[in-house]
């Protein structure tokens, strides 16, 4: 039996046709008609005016901070429970990340965020931006977060790397911040094998990022540079792949949500097994279904389940290790931290790919059921 992966690539649409089109047109470069079309189509899907296709989600986060003017000496607040890329982008600018915990929604806690901003400003820190992360496809409480950001006059950056196709209060994920970043890494809900997108309603921000992403070339016949640039553009070939994938996004979301429902149905009744909550304001893309195992109630623990799945050649993974627990960030400030630490200790991401076979999901469920028998 082939290995069952957490979230493998799934390409069954017009990808090959569009790739061939890109190839035969000889636009084999980090620009071209497929890139232009992918940007327009993605902007429409995310409910924003402007989009810039880039080499990765990390590049999108980095450029978002650069065009917001984040500089060495600044501080940027970042969700602690996230993938390292969110925080690393801050370090690339020379600014310092300050971590804020999540609440029981698993996403950035607006009350703690307000406390963090007040405390850091009172201490004389120059806090310039907040990175809110849509964890596992679940959007943050943006009405609350936006009002905190506005009252403290800091820019809101939405890390939507995991939430393409989700919606918050009826609006697509990616339209909630001043600027947002998507990822098309191989494990995300759609993929270009590697890639990302920066989106915003603010044309000047996106156009500035566009210039910086191609080594900040000035409009001159020779190579003229007045600011520091980067080589961050997406290849036209990969944009073709992305277009083929994006056409299938609604179907991918529907499949992942139904996989999650099946997990809910079979695992939620077990003692000591709970799920990441879905806010009534959010229709998430269910990128990864995640459970929390209470070892005092379940009669088993997260690691026992993970190893039992591994014995079946089924990949599962602990939640993101919070940034404030990462050795690299151990000297950084954190406001709160207990909630994400507890989730990390007991949380597990289950196979959630849109190509997951019903029988394989059944094996995942059976493995967990056989262990979580109560104490
Ligand atoms: C995947 C991911 C990123 C980074 O995207 P890449 O395309 O891999 O650079 C950033 N933030 C979060 C929360 C992610 O899950």
The first and second tokens of residue 172, run together, are: 């697509």
- Contacts of residue 219, defined as CB under 8 A and 6 or more positions apart, other chains included, come to none
Pocket probe for ligand 1: among 9, 90, 182, 183, the residue whose CB has the most ligand atoms within 8 Å is 183
Instruction: Yes or no: say if 60 and 50 are a contact pair by the CB < 8 Å rule.
Output: no
Q: What is the dihedral of CA 18, 230, 165, 143, to 10 degrees?
A: -160
CA of 7 to the centre of ligand 1 (A): 14
365: left (phi over 0), alpha (psi -120 to 50) or beta: alpha
Closest protein CA for atom 6 of ligand 1 = 57
pLDDT in tens, 331-355: 999 999 999 999 999 999 999 999 9
CA of 11 to the centre of ligand 1 (A): 20
Weakly modelled stretches of the chain, pLDDT under 50 = none
Say how far apart CA 137 and CA 333 lie, in whole Å: 26
Closest protein CA for atom 10 of ligand 1 = 85
CA of 369 to the centre of ligand 1 (A): 32
Closest protein CA for atom 2 of ligand 1 = 161
Closest protein CA for atom 14 of ligand 1 = 161
Task: Report phi then psi at 150, rounded to 5.
Answer: -65, -45
Say how far apart CA 99 and CA 132 lie, in whole Å: 11
CA of 83 to the centre of ligand 1 (A): 7
The first and second tokens of residue 158, run together, are: 């939405």
Closest by Cα among 191, 233, 173 to 13: 191
Pocket probe for ligand 1: among 55, 57, 133, the residue whose CB has the most ligand atoms within 8 Å is 57
pLDDT in tens, 160-189: 999 999 999 999 999 999 999 999 999 999
Cβ burial, residue 223 (10 Å; 0-12/13-18/19+): exposed
Query: What is the pairing mode between strands 273-275 and 289-293?
Result: antiparallel
Q: State which ligand 1 atom lies nearest to the alpha carbon of 59.
A: 9
Task: Give long-range contacts, CB 8 A cutoff, 24+ apart: 264-268.
Answer: 266/365, 266/369, 267/291, 267/365, 267/368, 267/369, 267/372
For the chain, list the strands marked E by DSSP: 50-54, 74-79, 96-100, 126-133, 155-159, 167-168, 171-172, 179-183, 196-200, 273-275, 282-283, 289-293, 317-318, 334-335, 347-350
Q: State which ligand 1 atom lies nearest to the alpha carbon of 60.
A: 9
The first and second tokens of residue 370, run together, are: 């056989």
Task: Report phi then psi at 133, rounded to 5.
Answer: -110, 125
CA of 74 to the centre of ligand 1 (A): 23
What are the b/e assignments for 106-134, b being 16+ CB within 10 Å?
bbbbbebbbebbeebeeeebebbbbbbbb
Closest by Cα among 44, 63, 46 to 55: 63
The first and second tokens of residue 354, run together, are: 């849109």
Pocket probe for ligand 1: among 55, 82, 85, 234, the residue whose CB has the most ligand atoms within 8 Å is 85
CA of 371 to the centre of ligand 1 (A): 32
Share of the chain above pLDDT 90, in %: 99
Helix (H), strand (E) at residue 57 = helix 57-67
CA of 243 to the centre of ligand 1 (A): 19
Cβ atoms within 10 Å of 367's Cβ, excluding its own: 18
Q: State which ligand 1 atom lies nearest to the alpha carbon of 185.
A: 7
| DSSP-derived secondary structure for 299-366 | SS-HHHHHHHHHHTTB--EEPPPPGGGSGGGTTS-EE--HHHHHHHHHEEEEP--TT--HHHHHHHHH
Angle at the Cα of 161 (from 159 to 162), degrees rounded to 5? Answer: 110
Say how far apart CA 278 and CA 281 lie, in whole Å: 8
| Ligand 1, CB cutoff 6 Å, lining residues | 56-58, 82-83, 85-86, 133, 159, 161-162, 183, 185, 196
DSSP reduced 3-state for 97? strand
CA of 349 to the centre of ligand 1 (A): 16
């Amino acid at each position: 039996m082939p290995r069952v992966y957490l979230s493998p690539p799934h390409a069954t649409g017009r990808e090959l046709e569009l790739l061939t089109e890109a190839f035969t047109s000889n636009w084999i470069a980090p620009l071209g008609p497929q890139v232009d079309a992918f940007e327009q189509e993605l902007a429409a899907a995310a409910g924003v005016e402007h989009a810039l296709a880039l080499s990765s989600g990390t590049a999108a986060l980095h450029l978002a901070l650069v065009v917001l003017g984040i500089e060495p000496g600044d501080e940027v607040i970042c969700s602690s429970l996230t993938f390292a890329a969110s925080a690393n982008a801050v370090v690339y600018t020379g600014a310092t990340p300050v971590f804020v915990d999540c609440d029981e929604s698993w996403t950035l806690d607006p009350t703690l965020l307000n406390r963090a901003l007040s405390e850091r400003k009172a201490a004389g820190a120059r806090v310039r931006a907040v990175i809110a992360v849509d964890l596992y496809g679940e959007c943050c409480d943006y009405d609350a977060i936006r009002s905190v950001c506005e009252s403290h006059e800091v820019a809101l950056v939405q890390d939507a790397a995991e939430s393409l196709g989700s919606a918050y209060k009826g609006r697509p994920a990616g339209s909630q911040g001043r600027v947002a970043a998507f990822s098309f890494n191989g494990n995300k809900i759609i993929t270009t094998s590697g890639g990302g997108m920066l989106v915003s309603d603010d044309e000047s921000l996106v156009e500035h990022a566009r210039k910086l992403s191609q080594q900040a070339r000035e409009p001159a016949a020779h190579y003229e540079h007045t600011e520091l640039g980067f080589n961050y553009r997406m290849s036209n070939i990969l944009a073709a792949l992305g277009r083929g994938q994006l056409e299938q996004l609604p179907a991918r979301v529907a499949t992942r949500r139904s996989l999650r429902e099946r997990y809910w149905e079979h695992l939620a009744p077990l003692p000591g097994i709970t799920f990441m909550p879905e806010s009534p304001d959010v229709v998430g893309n269910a990128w990864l279904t995640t459970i929390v195992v209470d070892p005092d109630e379940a009669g088993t623990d997260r690691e026992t389940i993970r190893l039992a799945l591994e014995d079946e050649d089924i990949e599962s993974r602990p939640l993101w290790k919070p940034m404030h627990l990462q050795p690299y960030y151990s000297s950084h400030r954190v406001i709160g931290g207990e909630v994400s630490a507890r989730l990390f200790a007991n949380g597990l991401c289950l196979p959630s790919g849109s190509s997951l076979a019903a029988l394989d999901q059944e094996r995942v469920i059976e493995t967990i059921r056989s262990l979580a028998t109560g104490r």
